[in-house]
Amino acid sequence: MIRSLAGLGLLVSALAPPAAAVEPMGEITANFGGESLRWETLRRESAAGSTATVQLSAAGPITMLNIHAMGDGDIGIQILYFAAMSHDRPPDGITLELTRADGRWSSKDAPRRAEIRFDILDTETGDGRAEGSFSAVLCRISEGEPENCRDIEGRVATDLGIGE
């Protein structure tokens, strides 16, 4: 019986499709309330195609850039432009969200607006590229807890994954 189970396991692993390759596209680093944190943006290649944790979408004059990265918890940066994206002007909207073992944090209802300034915002060359600095106040999202907010400042440097 044990032999047949071992043989079945070997057969199943031999027939299983190859694992998809996951590779870093870039990184986000930040200081969050005095703590240094790091995350990676990722791309997954498989037989079905490529997916990424960075997404750029446009609908008419509205452009959205969503950057999700994993590492010291998960961080998400949602950036909205009501016109063409440009490193020459700030976005019309930005929200940062951080999920860690100590809870979820968001800039959505924070006492000051989140900011991002791009040094590079290239959607025309290769995979595209975004590099810049951000700052925000993130407030912990939980019921029944007094307001708990911390400053976050950091940098993002990632491919946009649009050259596929």
Q: Tell me the domain boundaries of the chain.
A: 19-159
Task: For residue 65, count CB atoms less than 10 angstroms from its CB and return exposed for 0-12, middle for 13-18, buried for 19 or more.
Answer: buried
Structure-token match 């037989």, residue found: 47
CB 77 within 8 A of CB 67: yes
Residue 67: pLDDT band with limits 50, 70, 90: very high
pLDDT, tens only, 76-125: 999 999 988 887 888 999 999 999 998 899 999 888 999 999 999 988 88
CB 134 within 8 A of CB 116: yes
**Residue 91 backbone dihedrals phi, psi, to 5 degrees:** -70, 165
pTM over cut 0.85: no
Does the pLDDT of residue 6 top 80, yes or no? no
- Strand, helix or coil at 56? strand
In 3D space, the residue among 37, 43, 102, 95 whose CA is nearest the CA of residue 71 turns out to be 37
pLDDT, tens only, 31-53: 999 999 999 999 887 777 677 88
Residue 101, Cβ neighbours under 10 Å: how many? 6
Q: Phi/psi class of residue 88: alpha, beta or left (left: φ > 0; alpha: ψ in -120 to 50)?
A: alpha
